[in-house]
Amino acid sequence: MDNKSKQIGLVGLGVMGKPMAKNLLKGGFNLTVFDIKPEPVQELVALGAKAAASPADLAAKCDIIITMLPNSPHVEAVVCGPKGILEGVRPGTIYIDMSSISPVVAQKLCGIVAEKGVEMLDAPVSGGEPKAIDGTMSIMVGGKEEVFNAVQDVLHAMGGTVTLLGAIGSGNTCKLANQIMVALHLAAVSEAMVFAEKAGVDPEKVYQAIRGGLAGSTVLDAKMNMILDRNFKPGGPIWMHTKDMLNVRDAALAIDAPIPLSTMVLEAFKACKCDGHVNDDHCGVIQYWEKLANVTVKRRK
């Protein structure tokens, strides 16, 4: 389906939302935006977007509404709170939440918006800021197939891979599974490289030796040079991954899923927060293992 004649609305112009909005404009879509900060709104307006006064104002003007917000409470407030989406939305609208939230909350919101005649998809993303900028994010979608089909062109304007996984909530379940795997990869890289450094072996050479074998991974290649250069400028900050792992904990508790390794990495993230590293990239979790071993993994001269 071609949605170029429709009005798309996007609430949330943060690290991920702003480049997503820019890609929608590049794709030729009519875009209305809202954010609590005026600066990113002004930047998008200069590129051709329209500004809304509130989520309710945006909802009243748009046929397809997207939210990209930090966590479940923020999404619930934007949808259900004062001047929220529910106050302005029209029957027949499609609502796509692309935030990473609890699957339980996604299911609850789907029921709430359905009372207004609105269809919902939960469609969290993976890839961080770089892939949001170049439009190659992985988008994991939950919801009705016919609703998914109706907005595929919108989603493909922001992502390289767009996958329908099942009913509402399955998108966020997949995202949490993704975050479990990334967190455990980061923990494995951290423990292995601290082990090598403690043994006196150059971790950069260890990386080059193992990256082409079974231990190689996308996470290793994406993060090892950042670690060696002590570059912890975030693509995905520790605070954000901590939020996702707390959602993993809550979702796992609701379905009695065992998560012993995830629980361990969550504690490492929390320790980094206590040490003042909460805004570091999530590969900065290596500092937890470095502190235990009293070593620093870095590039040698």
Q: What is the CATH number of the domain that holds 239?
A: 1.10.1040.10
Rounded Cα–Cα distance for residues 88 and 56 (Å): 4
**Does 300 map to a domain?**
no
Same domain, 20 and 162: yes
Banded pLDDT at 146 (limits 50, 70, 90)? very high
**Residue that finishes a domain, picked among 115, 138, 167:** 167
Whether 148 and 123 have beta carbons less than 8 Å apart is answered as: no
Banded pLDDT at 198 (limits 50, 70, 90)? very high
**Does 201 map to a domain?**
yes
Same domain, 39 and 163: yes
**Does 218 map to a domain?**
yes
Domain ranges, residue 234: 174-293
Same domain, 66 and 181: no
CA-to-CA separations, 15 to 99, 102, 104, 117, 215, in angstroms, rounded: 12, 20, 25, 31, 31
Rounded Cα–Cα distance for residues 41 and 18 (Å): 9
pLDDT at 269: 98
Same domain, 178 and 112: no
Same domain, 279 and 180: yes
Q: Which residues are catalytic?
A: 175
Same domain, 134 and 273: no
CATH number of the domain at 127, please.
Answer: 3.40.50.720
Same domain, 222 and 76: no
**Does 2 map to a domain?**
no
**Does 37 map to a domain?**
yes
Rounded Cα–Cα distance for residues 256 and 206 (Å): 38
Q: How many CA atoms lie within 13 A of 76 on its CB side?
A: 12
Q: 40 is written with which tokens?
A: 């990113």
Same domain, 118 and 139: yes
**Does 183 map to a domain?**
yes
Picking from 53, 179, 172, the residue whose alpha carbon sits closest to that of residue 120 is 172
CB atoms within 10 A of CB 48: 12
Residues 6+ apart with CB under 8 A from 141: 121, 122, 123, 148, 155, 162, 163, 164, 165, 171
Domain count of the fold of the chain: 2
pLDDT tens for 108-131 read 999 999 999 999 999 999 988 889
Measured in whole angstroms, how far is the alpha carbon of residue 298 from the centre of its chain? 28
* pTM greater than the 0.85 cutoff: yes
The residue written with tokens 């890839």 in the block is 127
**Does 59 map to a domain?**
yes
The residue written with tokens 């480049």 in the block is 19
pLDDT tens for 75-92 read 999 999 999 999 999 999
**Does 301 map to a domain?**
no
**Residue that finishes a domain, picked among 145, 167, 189:** 167
**Residue that finishes a domain, picked among 167, 195, 229:** 167
Same domain, 59 and 161: yes
pLDDT tens for 215-262 read 999 999 999 999 999 999 987 899 999 999 999 999 999 999 999 999
Rounded Cα–Cα distance for residues 61 and 45 (Å): 16
**Strand-pair partners of 142:** 122, 166
Same domain, 274 and 226: yes
29: left (phi over 0), alpha (psi -120 to 50) or beta: beta
pLDDT at 1: 65
Q: Residue 281 carries which DSSP code?
A: B
